Structure 1
Amino acid sequence: MFERVGLEPAVAIVLGDLQHHERPQKGSQDNYPANKPTEHQVFNESSLADSNHEKFEPFIFTSWKCSQAPPWLNRLLIQPYIWQTQDMVRRPSDIIYISHLLVLCLIGLPNLILLFAHFSWIHAVLHELLVLYFLGPYTIIMHHHLHGRGILSPRWASIDASFPYILGPLMGQTWNSFYYHHKHHHVEDNGPDDLSSTLRYQRDSTSDLCIYLARFVLLNWFELPWYYIRKGKPVMGLKYFGWEVLSLGFIALLVKYNGRAAMAALVLPLIQWRVLVMMNNWGQHTFVDEVEPTSKFRFSVTLIGAVANRHSLNDGYHTSHHLSPRRHWRDHPFEFIKAWDRYSNQEALIVQNVNFISLAILLCRKSTSILRQNA
């Protein structure tokens, strides 16, 4: 499927050799990073996770830290904002959720309404750029919402329960579709019955990637209900199908009302969300150990040292997520460090300085190869 050669200097992939004739014995430390990664290596893009630590910073922006702001801005704007919002979330580090939701509610939704009221192509392009920029962060928010059974404090439970139905169509998500699909993904863990499994595909093949994406975009409305029926859970299958029909019916009504606005602001985000989220999944599970395909350490990839980890709230620690789906995003790097020996013994797949979508594209273009790096 792929050969073991080298990557560009900015990309270092550290993994056990999956070629059977070169594969070291399980638990061998040969050709595996000799030194346990330091805190700086793994988490230099974010503050410490412990809110009681002297270096702890609430996470309110993905582009820069609070400590990097000018003192006057910190005093007049940032600290009052933290004081007002910290009780809205469950952990102080999660103020970033409020930041993203405020932008989408105060800018994204009014933009959507204006597009339907007074459509222009320039406005549509600007709106699309906004949606595209926040597509990743919103998906991460919904991912955490799903596994944490909400993201806001109990006082804000009604908003916590309702915002996915309001913002979902804006960001390309049909109502509850992410919940039903992601639930089955964690049950099947990229196995043969996982509809998003990469097992049956050649992961360095552009044509296979296109088939993978097209199957999800075009057939998931049928395949996921049928999956739940086959698994003896027809009610869940019918619920998903009902929400999908309701969502698409809502979009169809808006297409009838203003076709151009609906296509630009609802249909395009729907397609691009499904394509990008599955490309991300392809990258997360692009390497699978054929000897032990059920190993959580070798059917998923861990990203370290990637700028994307800051913007995706440590989504790169995908192995850690599969090991403990409800683990808080700020805890992933330190759990990774603590479990380094286990990762090493299990020959976990670790990638440095590249994100999942880039990894998928690079492999499909065959412009890079795999390197086992001693770091």
Structure 2
Amino acid sequence: MKALTTITDPVYIPKENFSSYERFWLRYMNDKRDLPFIHLLTGIHLLVLPIAILLYTPVLQGWYWWIAYIPYFYFSQLYFKGRFGLMLHCISHRKLFKKNFTWIYHWIIWCVCPFFGHTPETYFVHHMAMHHVENNMHDDASSTLNYRRDSLRGFISYVTRFLFLGFRDTFMYLFTKKRKKFYMRLSYGEISFYLFCIGMCFVNLQATLWIFIIPFVFARIVMMLGNWAQHAFVDPENPEDNTINCINTKYNQICWNDGYHAVHHNRPALHYTEIPVEFMKNKDKYAADKILTFDGIHYLHIFVWLMTKRYDKLAANLVNVNNMFASDEEAIAVMQERTRKIPEPGIYTAHPEMKTSLNMTEA
């Protein structure tokens, strides 16, 4: 295990001199700390969207099409995908643009998201109207509780169900809760994407398959892999304690401190640059509750080591905050206990701040 040392994850460093391009966008933004999102979106509009349009034209044929698609795949599905997906997460919790300029947000949701496998509106609805409200408990359509979380077979079952029934499960949850505004947004976004792909197949089947359909499947698998790792360790005595923190990892540098998932579930409206400080403020409580914190690794490491049952590697990267574990063996025993199925729902209530956050971002 590791000792808790200096946090190297990104925090906001005040900037005095902005470029003319940044000053232009600051007029439309709510928070200057979100300027990195503008730079990210600029890169996407320069490198991803133009090539995607070119791939739909008859200009490129045969091997020339694939020569253009390979760098497109790299930028859209490897380089930008994680950054964009976690930016989408941030702007779902905190509005990026001022009220009079929400059309820019809708442009991102309806016109940019599909290039990264996100159907319009569905991420916001699933994440804000269900996942944060239910906190990975049994009513959550993406809950991990019914599965053995160090089992590859369990993960395949989990991700297969979500691919085929995730939309239905989310819709039925919202319908049962009588949240019409949300299940209508979910339905419009999901169904319009399917109809769009069907129509575009008649324009260019190959381009539609590789630009929209395959990235859609890829995105849902990646999101479920992330959710699986984030909610793999569930305290059977208190199932609400079911997520982790990953600190001092490059992933936090490029994906807006997404590794601090336990902090995020406790303070969902917190700006990503404030999260490392919030973690340090509450480290004693995390230690008392035995919330697991890993140093130098991220969710993919955790997923692979769970699937291969390498608890020794997990323990080697576990932060022993306040000496909450007496030995690696004790930590491993706790981790193994927390990956077992919890098939029966317990008595729980959603975190009050989560419901507050939902109300604040509903508009």
- Secondary structure of 1:168's partner? helix
Q: Is structure 2 residue 218 aligned with structure 1 residue 272?
A: yes
Code of the residue aligned with 1:106 in structure 2: it is L
Code of the residue aligned with 2:104 in structure 1: it is I
Q: Is structure 2 residue 93 aligned with structure 1 residue 147?
A: yes
Q: Give the structure, 1 or 2, with the largest relative contact order (CA under 8 Å, sep 6 or more).
A: 1
Distance in 2, matches of 1:45 and 1:144, equals 16
**Other-structure match for 2:115:** 170
Q: CA RMSD in A?
A: 2.2
Indicate conservation of the 8 Å contact 1:213/1:278, yes or no.
yes
Match of 1:94 among 34, 40, 65: 34
Structure 2 unaligned segments of length 5 or more: list them: 322-363
**Other-structure match for 2:200:** 254
1:295-374 correspondence runs (5 A): 295=241, 299-369=242-312, 370-371=314-315, 373-374=319-320
Q: Is structure 2 residue 76 aligned with structure 1 residue 131?
A: yes
- Secondary structure of 2:294's partner? strand
Indicate conservation of the 8 Å contact 1:112/1:265, yes or no.
yes
**Other-structure match for 1:116:** 56
Match of 1:186 among 122, 128, 132: 132
Code of the residue aligned with 2:213 in structure 1: it is V
Q: Could you give the per-residue CA deviations for residues 184-225 of structure 1, whole angstroms, max 9, x where no partner exists?
A: 011110101111111111111111111111111121122211
Structure 1 unaligned segments of length 5 or more: list them: 1-11, 15-32, 59-74
Indicate conservation of the 8 Å contact 2:245/2:262, yes or no.
yes
Equivalenced residues, count: 311
**Other-structure match for 2:345:** none
**Other-structure match for 1:204:** 150
Indicate conservation of the 8 Å contact 2:245/2:261, yes or no.
yes
Indicate conservation of the 8 Å contact 1:127/1:265, yes or no.
no
TM (normalized to structure 2)? 0.79
**Other-structure match for 1:61:** none
Distance in 2, matches of 1:239 and 1:340, equals 38
Indicate conservation of the 8 Å contact 2:122/2:185, yes or no.
no
Distance in 1, matches of 2:21 and 2:171, equals 44
Distance in 1, matches of 2:21 and 2:247, equals 30
Q: Structure 1's 362 and 110: CA in aligned 2 closer, same or farther, altered over 3 A?
A: same
Code of the residue aligned with 2:293 in structure 1: it is I
Distance in 1, matches of 2:190 and 2:164, equals 13
Code of the residue aligned with 1:307 in structure 2: it is K
Q: CA deviation at 1:57?
A: 5.0
Code of the residue aligned with 1:288 in structure 2: it is V
In proportion to residue count, which structure has more helix?
2
Distance in 1, matches of 2:25 and 2:175, equals 43
